[in-house]
């Protein structure tokens, strides 16, 4: 069949601001993770469960990115984390200057982990550095098991992949091993967790690892 | 909670090309639809089932947008439609100049319906006119029932919403009526279909409507 290829560079002009954010947060001993996924893969529910499970053990602050609405931020705040809402009003990803503005609204003195929940989008957010230490991509068993191959930049740019909605595996055509193979072919260093935020499967392993990650911070 | 709002205009600089495409296709009596959704909502499977069901009744051509891979185009071609693959190499949406290039590779003489399958992305594609007559947004019951409220531009810019994966309703927390209410509040003229591409539920109604839509073309 005929193919038409269009080359396009997505240039990250915000790297300078991202570098300043990273320095600011590192100086305060705060680890920062940038959580990305398709719409509806379960980022917010994963954060709710993580915050609930680590309550009393880890002080978590959250920056919630959404195009419109503050429904997710309200859920996160109800789960017990200090939360700042960013509404991008149409923009499909967060940028470093938005994070810099949000940081002025959050009390950093008690926080050891800052979580940035990006816009639901498996494409654009991967190109924008927000000053994070780690990128987490969430996929779910209902999205089809071809996502790493179809959206490789997201998986190349992440350090962790979380496969969510394990509870729905009996009802969908989804091969977890195939997804892991695809993702590891793109990024052999990817750390993979398999969870169900609905039943709780796998959340202990994820939360324990996250605790160790946060406390391994140097200085 | 504190809120930070960032205004950003997404300007559709490609409207002139889109207008030319629309004229070209209208002059040939071809109706064109632009199908959009989150990654994994089921666009490709919906097209496969639609092509199979309308074989012999409607000649369909397909332009398949993907960042990488031609897996979807191969599926569509196997289903029996003439197919052109566009690989955007990182770009998160199709633009009119890509469609113009793809049209040079497709034989338009036998086609009465041209389907453009956009990149899996519920944000950016809504801002780019491709010369289509109608926009179709596909949502699925596994994505959470807050998508119209969270991604309103997509629903405001579409004429049809298809709710897919009805077969998974017993296993997820998803209120179809809530989604329909949200979507209609944004866009009261939205035509809504409910289907399961896995079991076939609702596909007859959708295909019959699509046939009528294509044949109602004036001139």
3 state SS for B19-47? HHHHHHHHHCCCEEEEEEECCCCCHHHHH
More confident residue, A152 or B216: A152
* Count of CB pairs separated by less than 8 Å, A with B: 203
CA of A2: how far to CAs of A5, A39, B171, in Å?
10, 31, 41
Confidence of residue A2 (pLDDT cuts 50, 70, 90): low
Q: For residue A51, give how far its alpha carbon lies from the nearest alpha carbon of chain B (Å).
A: 17
More confident residue, B179 or B219: B179
* Subunit contact A151:B3, Cβ cutoff 8 A: no
Q: In this structure, what token pair is assigned to residue A128?
A: 């924008």
Instruction: State the average pLDDT over residues B8-37.
Output: 85
pLDDT tens for each residue of B139-189: 999 999 999 999 999 999 999 999 999 999 999 999 999 999 999 999 999
Residue B35 and residue B119: Cα distance in Å, rounded? 9
Q: Is B91 helix (H, G, I), strand (E, B) or coil?
A: coil
Position A14 scores a pLDDT of: 80
pLDDT tens for each residue of A166-191: 999 999 999 999 999 999 999 999 99
Q: For residue A40, give how far its alpha carbon lies from the nearest alpha carbon of chain B (Å).
A: 4
Residue B5: pLDDT over 60:
no
Phi-psi region of A144 (alpha: psi -120 to 50; beta: other; left: phi over 0): left
* Subunit contact B83:A1, Cβ cutoff 8 A: yes
Q: Are B70 and B85 in contact (CB under 8 A)?
A: yes
Side-chain-side CA neighbours of B82 within 13 Å: the count stands at: 17
What does the radius of gyration of chain B's CA atoms come to, in whole angstroms? 17
CB-based burial of residue B23 (10 Å sphere; 0-12 exposed, 13-18 middle, 19+ buried)?
exposed
Q: What is the DSSP string of chain A?
A: --EEE-------TTHHHHHHHHHHHHHTT-EEEEEEESTTSSHHHHHHHHHHHTTTT--EEEEEEESS-SHHHHHHHHHT-EEEEEE-TT-SS--HHHHHHHHTTS--TT-SEEEEE--S-SSGGGG---S-SEEEEEEETTS-TTHHHHSHHHHHS-SEEEEE-GGGGGGS---HHHHHHHHHHH-TT-EEEE--TTT-TTHHHHHHHHHHHHHT---
Position B195 scores a pLDDT of: 98
* Subunit contact A39:B151, Cβ cutoff 8 A: yes
pLDDT tens for each residue of B41-99: 999 999 999 999 999 999 999 999 999 899 999 999 999 999 999 999 888 999 999 99
CB within 8 A of B37, min separation 6: which ones?
A: B43, B120, B122, B137, B138, B139, B140
Confidence of residue A11 (pLDDT cuts 50, 70, 90): very low
Residue A93: pLDDT over 70:
yes
Residue B14 and residue B170: Cα distance in Å, rounded? 43
Position A157 scores a pLDDT of: 96
Residue A67 and residue B109: Cα distance in Å, rounded? 42
Mutate to test the interface with A, among B8, B9, B39 (most CBs of A within 10 A): B39
Q: Give the number of residues written for chain B.
A: 219
Position B9 scores a pLDDT of: 40
Position A89 scores a pLDDT of: 87
Position B3 scores a pLDDT of: 59
Instruction: State the average pLDDT over residues B116-141.
Output: 96
Position B4 scores a pLDDT of: 57
Q: For residue B10, give how far its alpha carbon lies from the nearest alpha carbon of chain A (Å).
A: 8
Chain A residues with CB-CB distance to B124 below 8 A? 92, 121, 123-124
């Amino acid at each position: 069949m005929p193919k038409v290829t269009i080359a396009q560079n997505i240039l990250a002009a915000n790297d300078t601001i991202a570098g300043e954010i990273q320095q600011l947060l590192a100086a305060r001993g705060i680890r920062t993770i940038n959580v990305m996924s398709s719409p509806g893969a379960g980022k917010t529910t994963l954060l709710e469960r993580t915050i609930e499970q680590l309550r009393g053990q880890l002080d978590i602050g959250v920056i919630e990115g959404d195009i419109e609405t503050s429904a997710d931020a309200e859920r996160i705040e109800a789960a017990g984390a200090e939360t700042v809402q960013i509404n991008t009003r149409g923009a499909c990803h967060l940028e470093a200057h938005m994070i810099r503005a949000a940081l002025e609204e959050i009390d950093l003195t008690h926080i050891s982990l800052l979580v940035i929940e990006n816009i639901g989008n498996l494409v654009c957010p991967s190109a924008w550095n927000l000053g994070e230490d780690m990128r987490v991509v969430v996929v779910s068993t209902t999205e089809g098991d071809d996502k790493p191959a179809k959206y490789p930049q997201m998986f190349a740019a992440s350090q962790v992949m979380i496969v969510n909605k394990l509870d729905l595996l009996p009802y969908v055509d989804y091969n977890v091993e195939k997804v892991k193979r695809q993702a590891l072919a793109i990024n052999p260093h990817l750390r993979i967790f398999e969870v169900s935020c609905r039943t709780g499967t796998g959340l202990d392993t994820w939360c324990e690892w996250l605790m160790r990650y946060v406390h391994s911070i140097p200085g």
